[in-house]
Structure formats: C-alpha cells, structure tokens
C-alpha cells in the first residue's frame, strides 16, 4: 500500500514488542532488510517509537532463523525434513495419544506474540476438535490477574479506558509499572501531559525505577502490599466523603462488604504505614491527591499482576475507581498496561485455558453455541490447565504431547529448571518458532516447525486500549517458513478436520473470528466485532486500526470508553466491588533466604532476547545479567560494584554482576528476566522463581521470591570480541551480546592467565599474526587478531577488580579498515586515534554513550537534559533515556559519580 511508482513501498504494520502496539512504517530495502520508522497516523503512538521499536530494522537477520522443518535424531541433533513428513508426524502423534490416553493428555502452550488469527486457529483445533481446553499461553505470566480482576468487577475482560485518557488526566498513578522502560511511548505521553498540562504523576513501586525519576510523588511500597494501600485508599475516600454516591447507588453492588473488609485490612494510617513500609505522611498525601482529583488514571502492570494476590490487587484498584465514579470518563479510569503485543487479541479468541472463544466461557450454553458455530465434533467441556499447572501435569506424565508456539517456557516459567526436566519427558514435543535454537528447543523438542517472523506475518493484534491493528508482511517468507495459522491448519487437516480448517488466508480467519464474536450475541457479550465479519480481502488488507467495540469508528483515531453510565456486563449490569483478602505471607524472607527477589525487564531488551538480542545497538545499554542491591546490604554481604554474586532461592541459583543501587529497598534484590542459557552461563532467572500462583488467575508470583545472596569470587574478568561465533571454556562465567561485525562476550574466570593465553592460541586463531600484550605481574593479557585491514578477534583480560572497558574495541570490530595507529593502540587499552571512548550506551536511538554525555557536561556544552538533547541529540527521539540523562546531570552536580560504575545505576 502507499506505493508511489518510483519510491520503495512503505508498509504499515505494528511493533511486535509491548502492549502499547505502536504503528510502524516499514520500507523494505530489497536485500532482506527494511528501514523502520513510527507511523504518524497510528493512534497508539502518532509516529513515536521507543529504542526497541526504532531498532527493529537491525533484527531482520536470517542467520539465527529456523528455516526448514526439522526432526530430532536419537543423538539429539536435528535433521531437515519435508513439511509433509513433519506435519504427518505431529498429526499422527496427537491422534495416537488422544486415542490412547484421552484429549487431556495433550496441550498447547501459546504466546502473546502470536497474531490473533494464529491464536484463533490453535484454540479452535484444541477446544473444538481435539476436545480439551489445555490451551494456555505466556499471557498467563503477564495479564491473567488483570483478566480475572476485570471479569470479577465488570463481568467481562474489558479495559474501560483508552490512551487518550493519559493526555487528559490530572493525576496519573503508576502501580507496579516501570512504564519508562516497559511502555516507553505511553510513558512519554504521560510526561508530556505533566509538562504541558501540569498533570501529577504518582509512582508506587518497591524500586526507584526510571519511571519514579519522573514522579511528583514516589511511594516505595513493600512488596505485595498494594492491596493494603488501596484498601486504605477506599476507606480514606469513604471517610473524606469523596465517594460518588449517585454512581454507587445506580451502577454498582457490593460496597458494604468490601468497605468492611478494607477497614479490617487497613484499619488506620499507622497500620497502613506499618504494613506497606511507607511514611504515613506520604500515604496521606497520596490519598488526598486521589481524593481531590476527578480526572485520575491508575495504570498498573506486572508489579500488580505477577503476584500470588494479583487479582485482589487489581480489584483493590478498581474498587477506588468505582467508588468515585471515575471510570470510562475522559481522563479517568483504571488502565491495565498489557505486557505483550497481542495478549489482548489472544484473550479475544479464548487463548487462555479458562476461556472458550470470543469472550465466552464454559457454561453449557456457551459450549453448545461455540460448538454449533464451529461445527465442532468434540468440544472441551471444562476449563483446562493453566500454565504452571500444565507444566506440573507434564512433569507427572499426565500430559504426554505438547506444542509450544512462539514462546520460550524453559526460560520464562517459574521453576524453569523443573520445566526443562518436564519437557524432556514428553512423548511428543513440538516447537513452532523462528529461531533455530533456544532453551526450549534445547529441552528435547522432537519436531521443529519454522514459523514466519515479524515482517513476514499477516494478521491482526490488539493493544492495551482494545485497538485492533494490522500486522502486515513486508518481507518474503524465507526458506520454508510458514505462518502459524497455516501450520496448525495443516495438522488439523491431517487429523481429519479439513473442512473446518480450510483457510486460504489470515483474512478468512479474521472474518470467522469476527462472525463468532457476533454469533447469537444480543449485546450481553462485550466482545463484538461482527461489523467486520464480511470484510473483503482488499478491505482487510487496508484495514485501519480500530477500537472494539466501536467498529463504527474504523478509520478514525477516536477512542471509546466504557462504563461511565454503568452498563457493566454483569447479570444485573452493575459493577462489582470486590472485598480483597489480606496479603498472604508465604513470600516472606527467612533466615535461609533473607532477601526478597524481584524480577523485571530492562529498557532495551524484550523477553528472552531472541529478537532484541540481535541488535548491537540495543545490546550496549545493559550487556550482561545483573542483580541490584541496596548499598547497605551490599556492604554487609561484602559485595562491591562490578563484583559477582550468587543469588540462591529454594529452586536454584544464578551468578550475576553486582549493581549497587540506592533505588533498591533494603532487604530486596532485583534481577532482569531476559538472559537464558543461550546467551549467559548462569542467569536464567525463571529458574529461581517459585511456582506459587494467584488462586483466581493462576498467574505466578514473579516479584517476591525469598532469596540469599553471596559473593562469588573471580580472579580475572575481561571481554572477547569476535567476528566468528566462538564458545568460551566451559567453567567461565560469561554473557554474550550482539556487536557490530560479530559478537561480544563479557566473562570472568578463575583460570590462570597462561591458560587463557593457551586457549587463545589453541582454540581461536593462533599463529604468528596474533598480536599479544602480556603483563603477568599486573595480571593483564590482551590479544588481537587482524584479518586483512580489519579486526577479527580480540581478548582483554585483567584482574576482576579492574574491569577493562570495551567500547573502543567494539567500535574497532565494526570498522572495515583499521589504521596502523588504531591497530597499535588497541592492545594498549587506551583510546584509539579518532575513536573517542563513548562509554556504555545511554541513548540507544542515537548511540550516545555515558562518557560522551559526561564530557559534554564537564566541558560546559550541556548542563541539563534539554541542552544534552540540543548538543548530542540524546533523549530527543523516543525519550526512554531521559530519566537516565537526568540522573547523570544530577550526579554530576552532586559530584557523586564515583559510586556508579554499572550502567544500570550509572545512568
Ligand atoms: S513502546 Fe516501544 S516496544 Fe512498545 S510497541 Fe511502542 S515501539 Fe514497540
């Protein structure tokens, strides 16, 4: 579309990462790549992209792709096979196991990265034709508590508000959300409101994150205590006569019992302060702000959802909006920030084990209705197993066949070590993915299906504000890759269900999905996009983003809000107050595990890095797995900046770089979730998390695991840069990242210098053309190998207390031609001529490093965020790094930069 004859075609699509769902413009370069920019007409982002979206063009490589169907040989290696053979093996295997052990012996584990059409077909096959609801998704780890909270309060899984509310709110509350890093484009919208309209921002989070840096009021709450705080808010609103009595009277039910419970949980300000660890005055200030402000949006995300009391937390927040009638009105309402790009689309088709399809459940009427619509012979009659329980059933041998699509449960599920062992027991284990290798594939998959990747797929996704957008292909399918919906349909065909899966395109599936949403829907079901059930192929191709249920607004950026006048989807049309339980205590620290481990995302990576990890630009912000700890705790544990620590829980342990941060509460640790066995030696954080789940949503508690931390000593540390793929010696601590021109490792070791020298000679390049520098008394060894005029390999190794800087060497690896002076100076460890040491990347959009920013401040060229932007452009594109720029300015002013050597804190 939009293809003037003499310019490259520009294709409108959506970003494949977070739930903001930004529109992108893709301009293919004809060589397998594409230029990516923000779509100025997309209502989610109006042209903005964050660092991850901006770097999408760097991730379109094929060298890590699974391009052909593969079968596992007995020795664990894989051989290429024909599509027909792979599909037949899967269909036969499923049929055999279902006949022998029943339909509940098989399961699908799907992903919020799938398109709605992929999700729809997988769900239909399993729930309508195979006859089990054992279909769950990684959205269980992300959104399940919000879904359950919505259904309890509203009678349907529906987000009442929209992004435009963030422009119109006078008070924005962020609970358990590091939106500055995890939903950056939306966060910049909030910041714009703050700057231009004076909206105030309150951040409630155990960590002082980048988001908190923008807060007018920061509440560093104790883990798991959100319910207490919002129970206290409800009682405060009651006592302050801040309720909307008319709204409560006309449109809600259950306030009396809820308020009574909340008074029990939060009997006084002092009691709230004691439980939440917050200052009583700070709590009161927050309560008064909420009480006095009509236009309030409360955004919440994984810090609320990923909890053993996640559903109650969600309802505790919604209670306060129902009580004040601040819902569905401009600038007012609760707003769940979805983690994944299509978590909501997956829910729309019933991609969770406790949903059927089109927001219907498992009542006899709904089962009968969906069965009739699908002409399904074997409808599932009850809910299936949710993610954690599904993998426990696999471990017990009850589920014998599993098909994993577009996700990496061996990394992301709690107790990931047990998940790996469970996967290895499966009689039939299928993975559809677009990477040749990840921890899940490495857990013994029998069949690998090459799935189409972003840029090759066609279909729709739904973002956090119910806006359905097209994801369009702008690259040809490489190798033998196929869309997920095609793969599932082909298996269905071979299982004898050809007529129900005879789809020719994603548009065919979208029409059926839309028709089901309207089928016998008298308005009692919220999800109804029947208006597009007859959409022509051409119209589907050019479909503009639209927000359901307002299909009348297709083609406009208008937003739809719900429930301002009640009309909830409950049987009595009233919104329900829900009485939360007092927070449970099972995640308390104890003598053996005296810390509470929190987990989360970092700014420039996504999930298990299979895509973002391909971008050299994104890999320079935080290139290695780390654990954040408060300075006082670090001192007590004998940890110093850049040292290493072993973090242990009852499930296992990881070894991580130490980052000391006063943004961390005492007694708590934080570690990012992104690293796996593919890209680090000991950093699969999912392995540490207990499989404790919310009793209603089934979502795991990923934010509060009792843990211990101890020094892990290494004598040496360093880095390796290499044009070719290499493996470091087996007992080395390492983390691998993408570099321009090759790959980069940071590593630590207790081996002798001489052993590393031998390894370099023996395993890497050797020979007379290797340049070396050895200073045994100081414990330094450096080696570099040049091929022609360019650097092919270098290794820097020194005492672990003096971490060598790699920024100049990384730049030299990327250079096509090195000058003699640059070659000479490389091993000296100094800056090469003409190549300033920019330091770790702060602004990923323009590649601006910490040292460059510090130098600009020191020289007087810049003094604040605005002048840094004018001088260096840093922070002027997506704005994700602005909180870090502020910190750098503040620290320069306080002349307190010596304590901050790790990028996570230095920024
Ligand atoms: S905020 Fe960033 S990651 Fe999220 S959809 Fe937009 S560009 Fe993609």
- Would you state the structure tokens that stand for residue 220, as one six-digit string? 């560093």
Residues in the chain: 907
Q: Is the CB of 606 under 6 A from ligand 1?
A: no
Ligand 1 atom nearest to CA at 606: 3
Question: Is pLDDT of 858 > 50?
Answer: yes
Within 10 A of 67 (CB to CB), how many other CB atoms are there?
A: 15
pLDDT at 1: 44
Residue 632 pLDDT > 70, yes or no? Answer: yes
Q: Is the torsion defined by CA of 563, 564, 567, 572 positive or negative?
A: positive
Q: How far apart are CA 534 and CA 787, in angstroms?
A: 60
Answer yes or no: is the C-beta of 23 below 6 A from any ligand 1 atom.
no
Q: Hey, which of 13, 14, 19, 20 would you mutate to test ligand 1's pocket, going by the most ligand atoms within 8 Å of its Cβ? A: 20
Residue 617 Cα to ligand 1 midpoint, Å, equals 16
Average pLDDT over residues 555-571: 87
Place of tokens 């800087």: 805
3-state secondary structure of 183: coil
Question: Nearest-CA neighbor of 325 among 263, 393, 251?
Answer: 251
> What is the rounded average pLDDT of the residues 436-441?
93
Tens-place pLDDT, residues 134-159: 999 999 999 999 999 999 999 999 99
> Which of 46, 177, 183, 465 most suits a substitution to test ligand 1, by most atoms within 8 Å of the C-beta?
183
Q: Which residue puts its alpha carbon closest to atom 4 of ligand 1?
A: 18
Contact 333, 136 (CB under 8 A): no
State the Cα–Cα distance between residues 777 and 586, nearest whole angstrom.
Answer: 51
- d(Cα 397, Cα 406) in Å, to the nearest integer? 23
502-513 pLDDT tens trace: 999 999 999 999
- Our answer on whether the CB atom of 182 is closer than 6 Å to any ligand 1 atom is no
Decide: residue 580, CB within 10 A, 0-12 exposed, 13-18 middle, 19+ buried: buried
Pocket of ligand 1 contains residue 297 by CB under 6 Å? no
What is the Cα–Cα distance from 565 to 553, expressed in whole angstroms? 20
For the Cβ of 18 lying below 6 angstroms from any atom of ligand 1, the answer is: yes
Residue 152 Cα to ligand 1 midpoint, Å, equals 29
**What is the per-residue pLDDT for 585?**
60
Does any ligand 1 atom lie closer than 6 A to the CB of residue 50? yes
Handedness of CA 471, 473, 478, 482 (dihedral sign): positive
Nearest of 433, 146, 423, 155 to residue 303 by alpha carbon: 146
Q: Point out the ligand 1 atom lying closest to the alpha carbon of residue 186.
A: 1
Q: How many degrees, rounded to 5, is the angle at CA 464 between CA 462 and CA 466?
A: 55
User: Residue 844: CB within 6 Å of ligand 1?
Assistant: no
Backbone angles phi, psi at 450, to 5 degrees: -80, 110
Tens of pLDDT, residues 454-509: 999 999 999 999 999 999 999 999 999 999 999 999 999 999 999 999 999 999 99
Alpha helices (H) in 240-386, listed in sequence order: 245-251, 255-265, 269-276, 280-292, 302-305, 310-323, 343-348, 364-374
The token pair that represents 668 in the structure block? 């708590």
Q: Decide whether any atom of ligand 1 lies within 6 Å of the 447 Cβ.
A: no
DSSP states along 608-671 = TSTTGGG-TTGGGTS-S-EEEE-HHHHHHHT--TT-EEEEE-SS-EEEEEEEE-TTSPTTEEEE
48 CA → ligand 1 middle, Å = 9
pLDDT at 534: 96
Model confidence at 817, in pLDDT bands (50, 70, 90)?
Answer: confident
| 412 within 8 A of 608, measured Cβ to Cβ | yes
Separation between Cα atoms, residue 363 and residue 367, nearest integer Å = 6
User: What is the per-residue pLDDT for 907?
Assistant: 33
Q: Are 213 and 886 in contact (CB under 8 A)?
A: yes
Helix/strand/coil percent split, the chain, to 5? 35, 20, 45
Contact status, residue 512 vs residue 120, Cβ threshold 8 Å: yes
Output the CA–CA distances (angstroms, integers) from residue 863 to 376, 420, 849, in the order listed. Answer: 67, 51, 16
Cα separation, 881 vs 621, whole angstroms: 10
Please give the average per-residue pLDDT across 380-389, as a whole number: 97
Beta strands 401-405 and 106-110: pairing type? Answer: parallel
CB 862 within 8 A of CB 871: yes
Per the model's pLDDT, the better-predicted residue between 854 and 273 turns out to be 273
Structure token digits, residue 523:
């308005």
Q: Is 467's C-beta closer than 6 angstroms to any atom of ligand 1?
A: no
Predicted confidence (pLDDT) per residue in 218-235, tens digit: 999 999 999 999 999 999
Confidence band for 26, pLDDT divided at 50, 70 and 90: very high
Measured in Å, residue 304 CA sits from the centre of ligand 1 at 21
pLDDT band at 835 (very low <50, low <70, confident <90, very high): low
Q: Which two tokens stand for residue 834?
A: 């003409």
Q: What is the structure's pLDDT at 555?
A: 65
Ligand 1 mean position, distance from CA 51 (Å) = 8
What is the Cα–Cα distance from 234 to 703, expressed in whole angstroms? 25
Query: What's the predicted TM-score (pTM) here?
Result: 0.93
What H or E segment, with its residue span, contains residue 94?
Answer: helix 83-101
């Amino acid at each position: 579309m939009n293809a003037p004859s003499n310019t490259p075609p520009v294709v409108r699509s959506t970003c494949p990462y977070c739930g903001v769902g930004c529109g992108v413009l893709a301009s293919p370069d004809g060589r397998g790549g594409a230029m990516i920019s923000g779509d100025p007409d997309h209502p989610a982002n109006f042209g903005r992209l964050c660092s991850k979206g901006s770097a999408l063009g760097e991730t379109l490589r094929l060298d890590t792709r699974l391009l052909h169907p593969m079968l596992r040989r007995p020795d664990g290696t894989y051989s290429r096979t024909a599509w027909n053979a792979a599909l037949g093996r899967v269909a036969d295997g499923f049929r055999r196991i279902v006949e022998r052990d029943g339909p509940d012996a098989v399961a699908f584990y799907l992903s919020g990265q799938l398109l709605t059409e992929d999700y729809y077909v997988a769900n239909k096959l399993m729930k309508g034709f195979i006859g089990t609801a054992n279909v769950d998704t990684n959205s269980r780890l992300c959104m399940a508590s919000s879904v359950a909270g919505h259904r309890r309060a509203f009678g349907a899984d529906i987000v009442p508000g929209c992004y435009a509310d963030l422009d119109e709110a006078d008070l924005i509350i962020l609970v358990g959300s590091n939106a500055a890093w995890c939903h950056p484009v939306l966060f910049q919208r909030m910041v714009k409101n703050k700057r231009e309209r004076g909206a105030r921002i309150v951040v409630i989070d155990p960590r002082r994150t980048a988001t908190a840096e923008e807060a007018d009021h920061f509440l560093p709450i104790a883990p798991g205590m959100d319910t207490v705080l919002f129970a206290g808010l409800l009682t405060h609103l009651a006592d302050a006569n801040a309720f909307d009595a008319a709204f409560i009277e006309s449109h809600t039910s259950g306030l009396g019992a809820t308020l009574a419970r909340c008074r029990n949980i939060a009997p006084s300000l002092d009691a709230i302060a004691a439980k939440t660890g917050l200052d009583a005055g700070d709590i009161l200030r927050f309560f008064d702000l909420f009480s006095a402000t009509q236009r309030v949006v409360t955004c919440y995300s994984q810090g609320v959802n990923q909890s053993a009391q996640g559903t109650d937390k969600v309802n505790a927040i919604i209670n306060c909006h129902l009580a004040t009638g601040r819902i569905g009105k401009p600038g007012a309402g609760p707003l769940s920030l979805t983690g994944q790009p299509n978590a909501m689309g997956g829910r729309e088709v019933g991609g969770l084990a406790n949903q059927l399809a089109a927001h219907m459940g498992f009542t006899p009427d709904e089962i009968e209705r969906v069965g009739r619509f699908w002409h399904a012979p074997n409808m599932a009659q009850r809910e299936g197993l949710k993610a954690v329980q599904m993998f426990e059933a696999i471990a017990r041998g009850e589920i014998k066949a599993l098909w994993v699509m577009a996700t990496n449960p061996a990394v992301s599920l709690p107790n990931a070590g047990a998940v790996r062992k469970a996967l290895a027991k499966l009689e039939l284990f299928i993975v559809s993915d677009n990477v040749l290798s990840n921890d899940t594939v490495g857990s013994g998959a029998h069949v690998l299906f090459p799935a189409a990747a972003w840029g090759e797929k066609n279909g729709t996704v739904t973002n956090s504000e119910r806006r359905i957008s097209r994801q369009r292909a702008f690259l040809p399918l490489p190798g033998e890759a196929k869309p997920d919906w095609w793969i599932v349909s082909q298996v269905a065909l071979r299982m004898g269900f050809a007529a129900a899966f005879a789809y020719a395109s994603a548009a065919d599936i979208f029409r059926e999905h839309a028709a089901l949403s309207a089928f016998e829907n008298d308005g009692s079901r919220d999800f109804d996009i029947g208006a597009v059930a007859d959409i022509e192929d051409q119209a589907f191709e050019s479909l503009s983003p639209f927000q359901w249920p307002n299909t009348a607004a297709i083609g406009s950026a208008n937003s739809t809000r719900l429930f301002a006048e009640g009309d909830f989807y409950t049987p009595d049309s009233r919104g329900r107050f829900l009485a939360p339980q007092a927070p449970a205590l099972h995640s308390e620290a104890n003598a053996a595990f005296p810390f509470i481990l929190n987990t989360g995302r970092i700014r420039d990576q996504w999930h298990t890095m299979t895509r973002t990890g391909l971008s050299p630009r994104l890999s320079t912000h935080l290139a290695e797995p780390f654990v954040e700890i408060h300075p006082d705790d670090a001192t007590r544990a004998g940890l110093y900046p850049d040292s290493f620590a072993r973090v242990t829980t009852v499930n296992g342990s990881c070894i991580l770089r130490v980052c000391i941060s006063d943004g961390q509460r005492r007694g708590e640790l934080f570690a990012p979730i992104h690293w796996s066995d593919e890209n680090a030696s000991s950093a699969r954080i999912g392995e540490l998390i207990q499989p404790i789940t919310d009793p209603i949503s089934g979502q795991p508690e990923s934010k509060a695991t009792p843990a211990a931390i101890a020094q892990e000593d290494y004598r040496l540390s360093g880095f390796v840069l290499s044009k070719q793929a290499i493996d470091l010696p087996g007992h080395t601590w390492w983390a691998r990242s993408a570099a321009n021109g090759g790959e980069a490792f940071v590593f630590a070791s207790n081996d002798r210098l001489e052993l590393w020298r031998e390894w370099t000679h023996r395993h890497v390049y050797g020979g007379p053309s290797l340049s070396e520098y050895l200073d045994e008394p100081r414990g330094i060894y450096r080696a570099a190998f040049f091929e022609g005029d360019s650097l092919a390999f270098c290794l820097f190794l020194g005492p672990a207390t003096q971490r060598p800087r790699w920024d100049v060497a990384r730049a030299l690896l990327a250079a096509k031609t090195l000058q003699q002076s640059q070659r000479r100076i490389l091993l000296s460890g100094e800056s090469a001529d003409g190549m300033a040491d920019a330091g770790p990347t702060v602004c990923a959009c323009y590649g601006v490093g910490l040292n460059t920013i510090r130098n600009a401040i020191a020289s007087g060229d810049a003094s604040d965020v605005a002048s840094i932007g004018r001088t260096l452009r840093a922070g002027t594109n997506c704005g994700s790094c602005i909180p870090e720029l502020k910190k750098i300015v503040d620290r320069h002013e306080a002349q307190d930069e010596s304590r901050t050597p790790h990028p996570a804190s230095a920024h």
